[in-house]
């Protein structure tokens, strides 16, 4: 609700300063994020000189805006990007993993999820088997590297007929808005208003978010008074 929340990773960096030798190695300060299409944009200021060096009297004030060892010292504006809802994720690795939601009641006719399940291993992951020493088989012979499946259960945790993990059309890839289907069926209108649970099966995959939505959601209007915000601006009342 914007007022009550819990830190899931207290004192962890969200965006660290750059590595030694980069233009933003000393400090970064983010502006308000902007949502654009399937990305979140973070404009930020960064500098490679100590804080306060822009003030006269600072020991390194004379170095600001000068080139030292091939690098300009001072301040600049940068842009960092993040996938939509990409702040945190639930992940399953090689041995696989599952996560089940609490009982929930939804409105809508489709389930849309945001996930990454690589079809092939990242470079450097393929190699020899640790036990036999033989080369690993080609990825195409063992199926996708990453997979995600979803099962819909009743409030007691029993799979609903037609919406089991075995019925789910296995997902592999990297999508921000992927519609869940079970043997080609995406319509969940018959389950609207009922208490259900969702069980996710993750194998070398990351789940960022999910939501229930109508079949054809209306486009959100642009808020010209607040770039990057969603929805119409709230009317203000002078008192």
Question: Cα separation of 95 and 15, whole Å?
Answer: 30
pLDDT value of position 222? 56
Task: Report the Cα 159 to chain-centroid distance in Å.
Answer: 28
Quick check: 145 and 120 in contact, CB under 8 A? yes
Any residues with CB less than 8 A from the CB of 17 and at least 6 apart, and which?
A: 24, 25, 26, 27, 28, 46
- In order, the DSSP letters of 83-151 are ETT-S--EEE-TT-EEEEPPPEE--SSEEEEEEEE-SSPPTTS--B-TTT-PBPPPHHHH--S-EEEEE
Quick check: 170 and 178 in contact, CB under 8 A? no
Annotated domain spans of the chain: 1-84, 90-123+134-213
Question: Cα separation of 14 and 6, whole Å?
Answer: 15
Structure tokens at 130: 């640790």
pLDDT value of position 10? 74
**Predicted model pTM:** 0.74
pLDDT value of position 172? 96
pLDDT value of position 134? 52
The position carrying tokens 């003030």 is 55
What are the CA-CA distances from residue 200 to residues 4, 165, 187 (Å)? 27, 9, 18
pLDDT value of position 237? 40
pLDDT value of position 21? 87
Q: What are phi and psi of 64, to 5 degrees?
A: -65, 135
Q: What is the CATH number of domain 90-123+134-213?
A: 2.60.290
Buried b (16+ CB within 10 A) or exposed e, 93-110: eeeeeeeeeeeeebebbb
pLDDT truncated to tens, each residue of the chain (239 aa)?
A: 567 777 777 778 889 999 988 989 999 999 999 999 999 999 999 998 888 887 788 878 888 878 887 888 888 999 999 999 999 899 999 999 999 999 999 888 999 999 999 988 865 444 444 444 455 444 444 567 999 999 999 999 999 999 999 999 999 999 999 999 999 999 999 998 999 999 999 999 999 999 999 876 555 555 555 655 554 444 434 43
pLDDT value of position 35? 94
Structure tokens at 208: 């960022």
Quick check: 231 and 225 in contact, CB under 8 A? no
Question: Cα separation of 87 and 84, whole Å?
Answer: 8
């Amino acid at each position: 609700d914007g007022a009550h929340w819990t830190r899931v990773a207290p004192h962890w960096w969200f965006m660290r300063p750059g590595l030694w030798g980069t233009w933003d190695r000393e400090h970064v300060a983010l502006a308000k994020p902007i949502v654009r299409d399937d990305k979140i944009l973070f404009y930020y200021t960064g500098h490679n000189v100590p804080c306060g060096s822009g003030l006269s009297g600072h020991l390194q004030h004379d170095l600001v805006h000068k080139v030292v060892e091939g690098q300009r010292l001072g301040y600049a504006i940068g842009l960092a990007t993040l996938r939509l809802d990409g702040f945190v994720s639930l992940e399953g690795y090689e041995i696989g993993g599952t996560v089940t939601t609490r009982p929930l009641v939804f409105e809508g006719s489709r389930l849309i999820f945001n996930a990454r399940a690589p079809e092939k291993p990242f470079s450097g992951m393929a190699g020899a088997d640790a036990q036999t020493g033989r080369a690993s088989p080609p990825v195409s012979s063992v199926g996708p590297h990453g997979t995600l499946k979803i099962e819909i259960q009743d409030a007691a945790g029993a799979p609903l007929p037609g919406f089991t993990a075995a019925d789910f059309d296995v997902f592999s890839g990297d999508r921000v808005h992927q519609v869940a289907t079970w043997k080609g069926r995406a319509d969940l209108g018959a389950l609207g208003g009922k208490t259900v649970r969702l069980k996710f099966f993750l194998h070398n995959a990351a789940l960022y978010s999910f939501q229930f939505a109508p079949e054809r959601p209306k486009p959100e209007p642009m808020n010209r008074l607040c770039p990057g915000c969603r929805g119409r601006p709230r009317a203000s009342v002078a008192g």
